[in-house]
């Protein structure tokens, strides 16, 4: 399940967003069998550079420290100049302040219980699960969220992090692993068509075959030391893993992670609220 306090977008999405695919492909583009335009940009898809130090700036953007080569920021923020930037997108659940927007405009895309009530993530009030059960809802969701991915590419991001892949675990058995992975595959195709690499976020138990079929290029592993999941990520992604541990549970997990994998993958210690530098409580440390 999600373990960090995810950022809240700075503005409500424009009301002009509609459930239609983008217009004709750009010049030089072709269309694949799934209707997603593919361009030369897809050839440039590349995961973050192996071993590069990174910073996780979901709580607010700030100037990265010297030596940081990869920066993860919310999709509402600009990418970090001169760094490989990863765009955070909550792709499988709503952000709290957008819940009303989803239920008013796209009620059929929000997962419902037996009484017709939206299914909410018990750990994150206001985050409603999106309905990935049918090809129709997956396609509609991929169109909407795909526009966010396009926005990441237009801003200059190099990759996207799709949060809450494992929402089926919080759905009361309404969602399935297969449904979420089928939806993820649509998003990956859209991202790749815009030259964006895609991170697997959550769902450490996926097999190598499932990850490859979905098309993920690397992983963002949150508290994998604390939850004994790191081996699952490195087994599938090798050195293409960004590991984040949190300071509020003590630094033991961070020290253990550095000793076990600090020479193989970058490991970052952050405060739970991922606060910007200068705010009280901000923590951002790399392995020695």
211-257 pLDDT tens trace: 999 999 999 999 999 999 999 999 999 999 999 999 997 899 999 99
Q: Extract the residue ranges of the chain whose pLDDT is less than 70.
A: 1-43
Q: Tell me, what's the pLDDT at 288?
A: 86
Q: Tell me, what's the pLDDT at 18?
A: 32
Which among 8, 35, 33, 49 has a CA at the least distance from the CA of 197? 49
Q: Is residue 109 part of a domain?
A: no
Please provide residue 219's backbone torsions phi and psi, each rounded to the nearest 5 degrees.
-135, 145
The CATH number of the domain holding residue 212 is 3.20.20.70
Cβ(167)–Cβ(2) below 8 Å? no
Number of domains in the chain: 1
Whole-angstrom distance, CA of residue 21 vs CA of residue 261: 43
Q: Is residue 78 part of a domain?
A: yes
Q: Is residue 112 part of a domain?
A: no
Q: Is residue 81 part of a domain?
A: yes
Q: Is residue 243 part of a domain?
A: yes
Please provide residue 156's backbone torsions phi and psi, each rounded to the nearest 5 degrees.
110, 10
For the entire predicted model, the pTM comes to: 0.85
Domain span at residue 152 reads 41-92+130-286
């Amino acid at each position: 399940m999600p373990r960090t306090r995810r950022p809240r977008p700075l503005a409500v999405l424009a009301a002009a967003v509609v459930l239609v695919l983008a217009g004709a492909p750009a010049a030089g583009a072709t269309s694949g069998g799934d209707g997603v335009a593919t361009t030369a940009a897809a050839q440039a898809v590349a995961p973050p550079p192996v071993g590069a130090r990174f910073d996780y700036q979901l709580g607010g953007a700030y100037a990265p420290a010297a030596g940081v080569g990869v920066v993860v920021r919310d999709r509402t923020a600009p990418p970090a100049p001169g760094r490989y930037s990863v765009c955070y997108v909550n792709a499988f659940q709503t952000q709290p302040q957008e819940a009303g927007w989803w239920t008013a405009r796209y009620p059929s895309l929000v997962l419902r219980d037996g009484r017709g009530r939206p299914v909410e993530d018990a750990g994150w009030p206001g985050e409603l699960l999106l309905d990935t059960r049918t090809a129709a809802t997956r396609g509609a969701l991929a169109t909407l969220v795909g526009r966010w991915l396009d926005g990441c590419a237009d801003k200059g991001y190099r990759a996207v992090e799709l949060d809450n892949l494992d929402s089926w675990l919080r759905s009361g058995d309404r969602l399935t692993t297969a449904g979420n992975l089928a939806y993820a595959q649509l998003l990956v195709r859209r991202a790749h068509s815009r030259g964006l690499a895609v991170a697997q976020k959550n769902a450490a138990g996926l097999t190598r075959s499932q990850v490859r079929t979905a098309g993920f290029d690397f992983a963002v592993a949150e508290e994998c030391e604390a939850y004994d999941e790191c081996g699952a990520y490195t087994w599938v992604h090798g050195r293409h893993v960004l590991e984040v541990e949190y300071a509020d549970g003590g630094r033991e997990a961070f020290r253990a992670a550095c000793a076990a994998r600090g020479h193989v993958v970058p490991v970052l210690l952050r405060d739970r609220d991922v606060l910007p530098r200068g705010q009280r409580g901000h923590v951002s440390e790399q392995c020695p």
